[in-house]
Amino acid sequence: MGPSGSGKTTMLLCAAGLDRQSEGTVHVGEMALDRLSERERAKLRRERIGFVFQSFNLLDALTAEQNVTLPARLAGKRLSRKRARDALAHVGLEDKARRRPAELSGGEQQRVAIARALAGEPDVVFADEPTGALDLASGRAVLDALRAAVDQLGQTVLMVTHDPRSAARADRVVFLADGRLVGKLEQPTADQVADWMARLEG
């Protein structure tokens, strides 16, 4: 978290290997990203990183299940139907596998995007404002799905958000200002996060 222009998205892009950092190192597990070629970084992103963005990035012509399996197909791999269905079940959409995005609510579409990110069993999922385009109830369902991925699947999730209530669902919140780490909270409450943000933005 941090004020606008603090470097949140830049940090996420560098951590995910989508941008190269100007100094320091980024590791995904034991792999140092700055030592990899562009092709190796693309392979690492495909195989070990999941993404959830504010825009759902689902293909309208495909069903929910087909959207979940698409990244594996593009990588030349086969994701079993059971694994796709299990991922949809994890986000509470096992009964919507054959629906197309236009037949789903915004919150359901974002949960399909989460299922797609989880289906490949990545080392880490990067979520950039995953509730930003959703109403309160839909946002809560999306956060429930991400929290369950951590608690039930042992998944690591790194999320950028502007919302203290969303941040309060995390185990740890780190605060950025002017591209620098300026503080952190463990097991935060929404009020604690809001207080930090008020100080940073004041």
Rounded to 5 degrees, φ, ψ at 136 are: -60, -45
- Provide the pLDDT for residue 202: 75
Average pLDDT score, the chain: 92
Q: What whole-number distance in Å separates Cα of residue 77 and Cα of residue 121?
A: 13
Q: Tokens 């289906």, residue?
A: 119
pLDDT of 127 strictly over 90: yes
The CATH number that domain 8-201 falls under is 3.40.50.300
Instruction: Delimit the domains of the chain by residue range.
Output: 8-201
19 by DSSP, 3-state: which? coil
pLDDT of res. 43? 87
Q: Give the rounded percent of residues in the chain with a pLDDT score beyond 90.
A: 67
Rounded Cα distance, 38 and 19, in Å = 10
Per the listing, tokens 């030592």 go with: 35
Q: Reply yes or no on whether the pLDDT at 133 is more than 90.
A: no
Residue 97: predicted pLDDT:
95
pTM of the model: 0.89
The residue count of the chain comes to: 202
pLDDT exceeds 90 at position 55: no
Instruction: Give the start-end residues of each E strand in 90-167.
Output: 124-128, 156-160
